[in-house]
Amino acid sequence: MEQHNHRPDGKEVLLAHGSGGRSMHQLVDGLIVPALANPLLDRMEDQATLEINGLRLGFTTDSFVVDPIFFPGGDIGALAVNGTVNDLAMGGARPLYLSLSFILEEGLALAELERILASIRAAAAISGVQIVTGDTKVVHRGSADKVFINTAGVGLMTDGTRISAAGAQVGDRILLSGSLGDHGMAIMSRREGFEFEAAIESDTAGLWPLVDAMLAAAPGAVHAMRDPTRGGLASCLNEIAQRSGVGMRLQEAAIPVHEPVRGACEMLGLDPLYVANEGKLMAVVQPEHAERVLAAVRTHPLGREAQLVGTVVEDTRHLVVMETAFGGSRIVDLLAGDPLPRIC
Amino acid sequence: MKYMDEFRDPALAQRLVREIRSLVRAPVRIMEICGGHTAVIFKYGIHKMVPPEIEYIHGPGCPVCVSPREKVDLAIQLAWQDDVIFTTFADMIRVPGSRSSLAREQARGADVRMVYSSLDALEIARRNPHRPVVFFAIGFETTAPTNAMAVLLAREQGLTNFSIVSNHVTVPPAIRAILDAPEVRLDAFIAPGHVSLVTGSRIYRFIAEEYGKPVVISGFEPLDLLQATAMVLRQQREGRATVENQYRRAVSEMGNLKAQAAVDTVFETSDMTWRGLGMIPGSGLKVRPAFAAHDAERRFALQPPAPSRDPKACECGDILRGLKAPWDCRVFGTACTPEKPLGACMVSSEGACAAYYHYGRHWPATG
């Protein structure tokens, strides 16, 4: 697969540059990272690992601009906590402290802000993190859309873990913690222009308890891990395949997708592999420990539907190929852009 | 999923593949007219399940792909008219015009919105009574009835701020143009199920009767396409050329008469330029003068966009006529990719190039 380290095309930023697909890789890898290059940043994980006086800390940040701000199963506040908690957890870091910054559009109802704060407090309590610093800015109407949130997080790296997108090895099994597409389709069902009635709720959740159980079940067996948010499972797998220099083979029949999500995806012509999740993880696990790690994930309510969905293979082209449930096969590629703007 | 999984049963698929194997004698070139079929063939890997003698040739049935570049230029002009809310389908937003795309104009401040149906655009017009709302209609006979309904509803409900641009094209004249071109060699057709739902199966009779080619109307599930392929082969083997209907659960001989009436009320036949095929007489639908108030091209003072040729290297035209496969194009996957498309076949999910690029670009030899 081609590298993305050239400058993005065109003169201006387009929505596609924020989609989680190939265009976003071009913007990040071709413009942002080269401008700021340093050894910690260049590793391009979901979190940086800082070694300070013998202590290994995970450090990460994320911004949230979801529209609508309230949606079935959650709101922008819960997302802002869980998103950053999960970015820490994916590196094997126990989340400890968060910062919280608001950019508020004038005119936002105080009652809505209170609702968001209550949701932030609840999500933080569930994940056992404290919000210890923050900032608030207000901008003119139209300069932001209701509320934007940035969070940053610090966590403590679990001893003995070396989890990295470059860590997948031939023979490893691919674990998925649950069904795909719930968050993206919940948002979609509430967007102006194509509201539809469906029993779909966002899966937003903090994933540290799952990760904790996995790492305890088989220390060192998790080689790579990501939460498939923007760009979905397809983008995570492609990134890991590329960074690790391997290929992936998926079994479509093993990938759980809830019925209402499948129905909505059919209706809108979307592929659940590319739809965002906010409470799922995929892990690349050493084969001899895969069943044990799977069993550990399944003991937790967030991982009850977990499955082993594929295998890491040797492939100089670094392709992700899926055997379809129908009996054929196809490439699962990175998308150029994403048909669902602003979902997290 | 009920009413869905039944059409994706791998055991049934294997039975059909065996049947196809037993029927095929010699190489056969089957054009699937519809871009939706092209996408299904690649998504489920059908082209690799059937014997290598069967070659699917991808027809001009991707509405975004066959819209010439000047249509995008026209759309951009409209999007910048005073206060306009410009609505269209997602794929259209990324298609390059001669200088820009709707996506770039959106980034520069034009109010361009993606909708799933013209009725959603109508709803936007209702919520924004003081702003003109333009719906840029593309598509075949399939989407024309809904868009006709949107115009009829706008008139009925007094939504004077709503207008459409009709870029509708119709299937039969394009197929005739392809069959009349000297260089194309096709043995049979798989005809689009959704178009037929509206028009009925009768519109394809000329292919069988005048050109002697078998036609099978197919649904959009992978089993539908396998069965349609088997039906084509059986006609060939029995020396027949007729219009057969695999998609009986939806398509009738006469089609949906109500939908046809709505289309007929709002639109009239016109000449239309297709990307790759050029001007085809009587292949388009334009808004009738009686509905001029809802015809954006009449409402706004627009410069008629200059005809714009595709970039020299782009071979969308030959690909749309089935003369070339995407990997025969010199810029496929290099200068032309989904994030930087030169031609529309690379933009739309129904475009042959996009389908090859996403699902199979590394297997041209076995494609």
Q: Which of A13, A268, A335 sits opposite B116 (nearest CB)?
A: A268
Q: What mean pLDDT value characterizes chain A? A: 91
A291 and A202, same domain (yes or no): yes
Tell me which residue in A22, A317, A328 faces B44 most closely, judged by beta carbons: A328
| Res A144 pLDDT > 70 | yes
Q: Examine residue B113 and state whether it is found in any structural domain, yes or no.
A: yes
pLDDT attached to residue B175: 93
Q: Residue A193: pLDDT above 80?
A: no
Q: What range defines the domain where residue B38 resides?
A: 5-56+184-245
**Is A135 within 8 Å of A101 (Cβ atoms)?**
yes
E strands, chain A, in order: 48-52, 55-64, 70-71, 74-75, 93-105, 130-139, 147-157, 173-176, 222-226, 247-251, 282-285, 307-313, 320-323, 329-331
- State the average pLDDT for chain B: 89
**Confidence tier at B355 by pLDDT (50, 70, 90):** confident
Three-state secondary-structure class, residue A50: strand
- Domain membership of residue A96 (yes or no) is yes
Q: Using CA atoms, how far apart are residues A55 and B279, in angstroms rounded to an integer?
A: 71
What confidence tens digit (pLDDT) does each residue in B126-182 have?
999 999 999 999 999 989 999 999 999 999 999 999 999 999 999 999 999 989 987
A330·B360 Cβ contact <8 A: yes
Minimal Cα–Cα distance from A318 to chain B, Å? 11
CATH code (residue B23): 3.40.50.11750
**Could you read off the pLDDT of B186-242 as tens digits, one per residue?**
999 999 988 888 899 999 999 999 999 999 999 989 999 999 999 999 999 999 999
Task: CATH number of the domain at A182, please.
Answer: 3.90.650.10
Q: How many angstroms away from the CA of A139 is the closest CA of chain B? A: 19
Residue B29 distance to chain A (closest CA, Å) = 21
pLDDT at res. A64: 96
- Whether A163 is in a domain gets the answer no
Contacts across the A-B interface (CB distance below 8 Å) = 93
Q: What is the structure's pLDDT at A319?
A: 93
The yes-or-no verdict on residue A3 having pLDDT over 60 is no
**Do B92 and B165 share a domain, yes or no?**
yes
Cβ B45–A9 below 8 Å, yes or no? no
Residue A36 burial (10 A CB sphere; 0-12, 13-18, 19+): exposed
Question: Taking CB atoms and an 8 Å cutoff, what residues of chain B touch A30?
Answer: none
Which pLDDT score, from 0 to 100, does residue A324 have? 87
Distance (Å, rounded) from C-alpha B171 to C-alpha A185? Answer: 33
Taking only the tens place, the pLDDT of each residue in A304-323 is: 999 999 999 999 999 999 99
Q: How many residues does chain A have?
A: 344
DSSP 3-state assignment of A326?
coil
Do the Cβ atoms of B45 and A335 come within 8 Å?
no
When CB atoms are compared, the residue of A15, A26, A339 closest to B103 is: A15
Q: How many domains in chain B? A: 2
CB-based contact A334:B339 (threshold 8 Å): no
Same domain assignment for residues A141 and A235: no
Residues of chain B with a CB closer than 8 angstroms to some CB in chain A:
1, 4, 8, 10, 13-14, 42-46, 48-49, 90, 94, 103-104, 106-108, 113-117, 120, 123-124, 222, 337-340, 349, 357-362
Tell whether the model's pLDDT for residue A5 goes beyond 80.
Answer: no
Which chain A residue shows the shortest CA-CA distance from B107? A14
Asked if B198 and B234 sit in the same domain, the reply is yes
Nearest CA in chain B to A21: B339
B126 and B45 in a common domain: no
Say if residues B366 and B360 touch (Cβ distance below 8 Å): no
Instruction: For the beta carbon of residue A91, count every other beta carbon within 10 angstroms.
Output: 26
Check residue A344 and give its pLDDT.
46
Closest partner CB to A331 (pick from B94, B117, B362): B362
Judge if A320 and A197 occupy the same domain: yes
Q: Does residue A225 share a domain with residue A136?
A: no
Q: Are residues A51 and A136 in the same domain?
A: yes
Same domain? For B156 and B289 the reply is yes
Exposure on the CB side of residue B344, measured as CA atoms within 13 A: 31
| Domain co-membership, A288 together with A218 | yes
Q: Please list, in sequence order, all residues whose beta carbon lies within 8 angstroms of the beta carbon of residue B38, skipping any fewer than 6 positions away.
A: B32, B56, B58, B61, B62, B350, B351, B352, B355
* Beta-carbon separation of A23 and B123 below 8 A: no
The interface predicted TM-score of the complex, written ipTM, equals 0.72
Domain count, chain A: 2
**Helix, strand, coil in percent for chain A, rounding step 5:** 35, 25, 40
pLDDT over 70 percentage in chain A: 94
Would the pLDDT of B2 be above 60?
no
Scan for tokens 């008469």, then name that residue: B257
Does B162 share its domain with B71? yes
Cβ-based neighbours of A251, under 8 Å, separated by 6 or more: A309, A310, A322, A323
Residue A26 lies in a domain: no
* Cα B287 off chain centre by: 20
Of B185, B184, B204, the C-alpha closest to B247 is B204
Q: Which residues lie closer than 8 Å to B7 by C-beta, 6 or more apart?
A: B219, B221, B222, B223, B224
pTM of the model: 0.83
A19 → chain B, closest CA residue: B339
pLDDT for res B6: 66
Name the more confident of B348 and A261.
A261
C-alpha to C-alpha distance for B178 and A313, rounded to whole angstroms: 44
Residue A134 pLDDT greater than 80, yes or no: yes
Assign B334 a pLDDT band (cuts: 50, 70, 90).
confident
Residues B155 and B263 reside in one and the same domain: yes
Listed in sequence order, the residues at least 6 apart from B273 whose beta carbon sits closer than 8 Å to its beta carbon are: B68, B70, B279, B280, B307
Contact A336 B108 (CB under 8 A): no
In sign, the C-alpha dihedral spanning A247, A253, A255, A261 is positive
Q: Are A225 and A282 in contact (CB under 8 A)?
A: yes
Q: In this predicted model, what pLDDT tens digit does every residue of A67-118 receive, in sequence order?
A: 999 999 999 999 999 999 999 999 999 999 999 999 999 999 999 999 999 9
Task: Give dist(CA B77, CA B50) in Å, integer.
Answer: 46
B260 near B202, Cβ under 8 Å?
A: no
Task: Over range B293-307, report the average pLDDT.
Answer: 89
Q: How far is C-alpha B276 from the geometric centre of its chain's CA atoms?
A: 14
Interface test mutation site (partner B, options A9, A330, A334, max chain B beta carbons within 10 A): A330
Mean pLDDT of A245-261: 95
CB contact under 8 A, B358 and A333: yes
Q: Are residues A204 and A265 in the same domain?
A: yes
Is B364 a residue whose pLDDT tops 50?
no
Residue B182 backbone phi and psi in degrees, to 5: -65, -30
- Residue A291's domain spans which residues? 173-331
In a domain, A142, yes or no: yes
pLDDT reading at A20 higher than 80:
no
Q: For residue A18, tell me if it sits in a domain.
A: no
How many other C-beta atoms are found inside a 10 Å radius of the C-beta of residue A89?
33
The 10s digit of each residue's pLDDT in B267-282 is 999 999 988 788 999 9
Average pLDDT of the residues in A215-232: 94
Instruction: Compute the distance between CA of residue B69 and CA of residue B87 in angstroms, rounded to an integer.
Output: 18
User: Which of A43-47, A264-268, A323-327 is the least confident region?
Assistant: A264-268
Q: Is residue A228 part of a domain?
A: yes
In chain A the first and final C-alpha atoms are separated, in Å, by: 28
Pick from B245, B269, B284: which residue ends a domain?
B245
Q: Are residues A153 and A184 in the same domain?
A: no
Mean pLDDT confidence for B53-57: 93
Q: What is the mean pLDDT of residues A289-318?
A: 97
Cβ-based contacts of A266 with chain B (< 8 Å): 1, 4
Percent pLDDT > 90 in chain A is 75
